[in-house]
């Protein structure tokens, strides 16, 4: 737990940091459930945290669960136990939300972060259940992938193998390399990665203390990291613990994380590793301050989400020109209808992503385009989006190509709440109209504008080209828009 003070003068200031380690993931990854003993200990610690918050007169808090809670079979029971016994409400983050908050915590480092991502950079975010590898090229997020190689998960696998400690590194490398080799084929290819940013609860603290050969706390070159690995291999646990000032009990997890990072760095041939020493708590505080307009954005995170969607489209052979045309048409219509649709900035972002991924299903089938597009979006992680938001995008993409399913027809088959369903209907209506305006896929409109006039949405297009196809097929796309918004979209052509 971290306590922060927010003010106009200091913006964001860390007041206290209280830490208690409970490896909940050991139970989750071994048995699928968190044991009563661990829940009991967790509740006791959270009650103590609650008392500390009260002593600081804390006005607001955020409490999140990650993979250990997310992947357990009895999530709802555990969350209810915590709420009843401690009064603390815990929200469970999806993997993409969790990693995005970790990413935001790094951006808190401002100048260091912006400087390091000018060159090819990978963020390696090591958790208990998995690691997230995100690639930057010229300060733009180009790809992100989750690999089930978390520290606690790997420790549980080692325990099942009953191997001698001397064999641990070899076994870990076999388990790690099998997944990293696939990642390399899909994402690295000719990409040059010079820097690695490390986010973890294990090795980062040691790099912060400055490893042998490091000139600056938090930074270490690949050669010095190799020396650090050799020290872990060649010395006893007691010697390593004494040298780095850590407990002997924490060393097995430190070793697993160190081997993970070493293998990633070796695969990418990185020259420099940076451990900014941030935690998920920093990202949570940053997001809170950003949402409450206490601090201004230090980095354009929305563009990172859009860049991620563009790269997903590229991976599934989507047309970049077509996607960007639809995106432009969609946001123009969206912005001109703010008083009608009642949606906000976040929904605008979801519409942009849906426009970019509108035809990704063609990669699988030209016939079942809607269902295939839905499956691709739901199976592909888009960093920064919650599971609910990803489901909204997936449905918008699906219904762009097939008949809309009404909420009453879906019945018990849907997990969507009514608000999400209405968002899907509104965004689908806009995307269908945008799709109708570029039915030939030839981007005929050099310039266009939209105007609301009584019960019509006037779309004025400037083009000298023949738009007979667009006009002829537009009504079919426009009918659903009229049903959702009670506005009739009309195309007016101005010939250049």
Indicate whether 131 and 37 sit together in one domain: no
SS (H, E, C) 377-425: HHHCCCCCCCHHHHHHHHHHHHHCCCCCCCHHHHHHHCCCCHHHHHHHH
Report how far residue 386's alpha carbon sits from residue 98's, in angstroms, rounded to the nearest whole number.
Answer: 9
Q: Looking at the domain assignment, is residue 101 inside a domain?
A: no
Relative orientation angle of helices 95-107 and 280-291, to the nearest 10 degrees: 80
Indicate whether 391 and 261 sit together in one domain: no
101, 283 contact by CB (below 8 A): yes
Report how far residue 257's alpha carbon sits from residue 296's, in angstroms, rounded to the nearest whole number.
Answer: 34
424, 455 contact by CB (below 8 A): no
Q: How many CA atoms are closer than 13 Å to the CA of 439, on its beta-carbon side? A: 17
Residues written for the chain: 496
Tokens 């007169």 -> residue: 57
Report how far residue 367's alpha carbon sits from residue 363's, in angstroms, rounded to the nearest whole number.
Answer: 11
108, 92 contact by CB (below 8 A): no
Report how far residue 152's alpha carbon sits from residue 410's, in angstroms, rounded to the nearest whole number.
Answer: 40
| Maximum Cα–Cα distance across the chain | 81
Q: Residue 483: which region, alpha, beta or left (left: phi > 0; alpha: psi -120 to 50)?
A: alpha
Indicate whether 270 and 314 sit together in one domain: no
β-partners of residue 6 are 12
Q: How many CA atoms are closer than 13 Å to the CA of 90, on its beta-carbon side? A: 25
pLDDT in single tens digits along all 496 residues of the chain: 999 999 877 788 999 999 998 988 888 888 999 999 999 999 999 999 999 999 999 999 999 999 999 999 989 999 999 999 999 999 999 888 998 999 888 877 767 888 888 889 999 999 999 999 999 887 788 888 899 999 999 999 999 998 888 899 999 999 999 899 999 988 888 889 999 999 998 999 888 876 766 678 889 999 999 999 999 999 999 999 998 888 998 999 999 999 999 999 999 999 999 999 898 999 999 999 888 888 877 778 888 899 889 989 998 998 888 888 899 999 999 999 999 999 999 999 999 999 999 999 999 998 999 999 999 999 988 888 888 999 999 999 999 999 998 887 776 667 788 999 999 999 999 999 988 887 655 666 667 788 898 889 988 877 767 677 677 677 777 899 999 999 998 888 776 5
Q: Looking at the domain assignment, is residue 291 inside a domain?
A: no
Q: Which contiguous run of DSSP H or E holds residue 331? A: helix 320-336
Q: Looking at the domain assignment, is residue 288 inside a domain?
A: no
Structure pTM? 0.83
Domains in the chain, number: 3
Q: Which domain holds residue 230?
A: 110-277
List the beta strands (DSSP E) in 309-366: none
Q: Looking at the domain assignment, is residue 386 inside a domain?
A: yes
Indicate whether 130 and 249 sit together in one domain: yes
Q: Looking at the domain assignment, is residue 295 inside a domain?
A: no
Indicate whether 253 and 351 sit together in one domain: no
Strand order in the sheet with 131-137: 140-147, 131-137, 121-126, 195-199, 272-274, 219-221
Query: DSSP 3-state assignment of 452?
Result: strand
CATH of the domain at 86: 3.30.420.40
Neighbours of 76 (CB within 10 A): 10
Indicate whether 126 and 220 sit together in one domain: yes
221, 271 contact by CB (below 8 A): yes
180, 104 contact by CB (below 8 A): no
Query: DSSP 3-state assignment of 139?
Result: coil
Q: How far is CA 64 from the centre of its chain?
A: 15
Indicate whether 121 and 81 sit together in one domain: no
């Amino acid at each position: 737990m971290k306590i922060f003070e927010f003010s106009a003068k200091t913006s964001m200031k860390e007041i206290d940091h209280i830490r208690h380690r409970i490896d909940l993931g050991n139970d989750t990854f071994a048995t699928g459930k968190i044991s009563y003993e661990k829940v009991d200990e967790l509740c006791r610690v959270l009650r103590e945290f609650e008392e500390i918050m009260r002593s600081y007169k804390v006005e607001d808090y955020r409490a999140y669960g990650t993979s250990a809670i997310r992947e357990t079979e009895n999530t709802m029971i555990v969350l209810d136990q915590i709420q009843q016994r401690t009064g603390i409400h815990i929200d469970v983050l999806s993997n993409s939300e969790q990693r995005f908050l970790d990413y935001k915590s790094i951006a808190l480092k401002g100048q260091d972060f912006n400087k390091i991502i000018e060159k090819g950079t990978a963020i390696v975010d090591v958790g208990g259940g998995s690691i997230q590898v995100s690639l930057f090229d010229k300060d733009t997020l180009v790809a992100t992938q989750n690999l089930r190689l978390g520290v606690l998960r790997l420790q549980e696998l080692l325990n099942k193998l009953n191997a001698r400690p001397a064999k641990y590194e070899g076994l870990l490398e076999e388990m790690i390399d099998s997944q990293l080799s696939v990642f390399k084929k899909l994402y690295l290819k000719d990409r040059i990665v010079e820097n690695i940013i490390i986010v973890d609860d294990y090795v980062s603290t040691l790099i912060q203390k400055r490893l042998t050969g490091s000139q600056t706390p938090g930074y270490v070159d690949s050669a010095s990291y190799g020396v650090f690995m050799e020290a872990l291999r060649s010395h006893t646990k007691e010697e390593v613990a004494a040298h780095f000032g850590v407990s002997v009990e924490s060393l097995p997890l430190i070793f697993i994380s160190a081997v993970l990072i070493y293998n990633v760095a070796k695969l990418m041939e990185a020259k420099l590793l940076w451990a900014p020493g941030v935690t998920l708590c920093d990202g949570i505080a940053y997001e809170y301050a950003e949402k409450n307009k206490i601090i201004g954005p230090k980095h354009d995170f929305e563009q990172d989400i859009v860049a991620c969607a563009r790269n997903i489209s590229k991976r599934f052979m989507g047309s970049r020109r077509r996607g960007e045309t639809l995106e432009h048409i969609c946001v123009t219509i969206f912005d001109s209808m703010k008083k009608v649709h009642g949606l906000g900035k976040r929904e605008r972002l979801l519409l942009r992503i849906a426009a970019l991924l509108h035809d990704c299903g063609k990669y699988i089938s030209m016939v079942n385009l809607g269902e295939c597009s839905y499956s691709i979006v739901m199976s592909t992680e888009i960093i920064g989006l919650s599971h609910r938001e990803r489901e909204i995008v997936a449905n918008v993409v699906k219904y762009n190509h097939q008949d809309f399913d009404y909420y009453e027809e879906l019945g018990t088959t849907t997990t969507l709440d009514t608000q999400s369903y209405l968002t899907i209907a509104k965004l689908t209506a806009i995307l269908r109209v945008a799709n109708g305006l570029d039915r030939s896929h030839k981007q005929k409109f050099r310039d266009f504008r939209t105007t609301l006039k009584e019960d019509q949405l006037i779309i004025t297009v400037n083009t000298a080209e023949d738009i007979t196809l667009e006009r002829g097929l537009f009504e079919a796309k426009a009918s659903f828009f009229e049903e959702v918004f009670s506005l009739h979209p009309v195309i007016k052509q101005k010939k250049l």
